[in-house]
Amino acid sequence: MTTAEAAAVDYPRDKNGFPLETCGRCLGSGQYSYNALDGTRCYGCGGHGVRHPAGTVAKLAGEWSTIIRGAKQVNTAAYRDVATGEVTCDLQVGDQIAHQGAKVWSTVAGVEITDTVVGGCRIGMDANGEMILRTQTLEVWITYADGTRERGGYLLRRRPDVEALRPVRDDLAARARTAYEALLASRARRAARRA
């Protein structure tokens, strides 16, 4: 077995398969000198003692956490693009979302986007620096599987479609491992040259 193959076999990974290294700041203890914001918790690793290696691995792990954060939230407003008339809404029939103060999970059975403009809008600048209206927010009514209705317009918690996201996660994690294994191999070559 070559050094690169040996390195590829065994190293710490997080639960999603992204490589982890011992935090260089706290050397794995998770503790560091006291500061008013974090106490003695190491801010290099959030107190975990391990972190994603800086560079490509940290970037890919960050991409995954952005995706999963977005998947866990749904904006229940609808937006109409003033220029094109195109209407977009994140909420989909079949989404499982937490409502009634986030205490109940319900399945969305219907999304009715009305023509009623309810204010909130995105504003931009035209070529002359004039403020222009880019989107209008439209009133949305959500019907749940139990027949209850709720007016949208809020950010609600959504149960992510794990099956759909798994291939995306696995691809990002595989790319992170490839990058990390290349990093380990180049470190090994440098160490061999020094020896």
Residue numbers at the binding site for Zn ion (CB under 5 A): 23, 25-26, 42, 44-45
Q: What value, to the nearest 5°, has the Cα angle with vertex 157 and ends 61 and 15?
A: 30
Tell me whether residue 25 or residue 175 sits nearer to Zn ion (CB atom): 25
Minimum distance from residue 55 beta carbon to Zn ion (Å): 17
Tell me whether residue 44 or residue 153 sits nearer to Zn ion (CB atom): 44
Cβ partners under 8 Å of residue 55, min gap 6: 179, 183
Q: Is 180 exposed, middle or buried (0-12, 13-18, 19+ CB in 10 A)?
A: buried
Q: How many CA atoms lie within 13 A of 48 on its CB side?
A: 13
Minimum distance from residue 141 beta carbon to Zn ion (Å): 48
The count of other CB atoms within 10 Å of the CB of residue 19 is 23
Tell me whether residue 42 or residue 173 sits nearer to Zn ion (CB atom): 42
Minimum distance from residue 33 beta carbon to Zn ion (Å): 12
Q: Per-residue b/e over 56-94, b at no fewer than 16 CB within 10 Å?
A: bbeebbeebeeeeeebeebbbbbbbeeeeeeeebbbeee
Cβ partners under 8 Å of residue 116, min gap 6: 138, 139
Tell me whether residue 26 or residue 172 sits nearer to Zn ion (CB atom): 26
Tell me whether residue 47 or residue 153 sits nearer to Zn ion (CB atom): 47
Minimum distance from residue 148 beta carbon to Zn ion (Å): 47
Minimum distance from residue 124 beta carbon to Zn ion (Å): 42
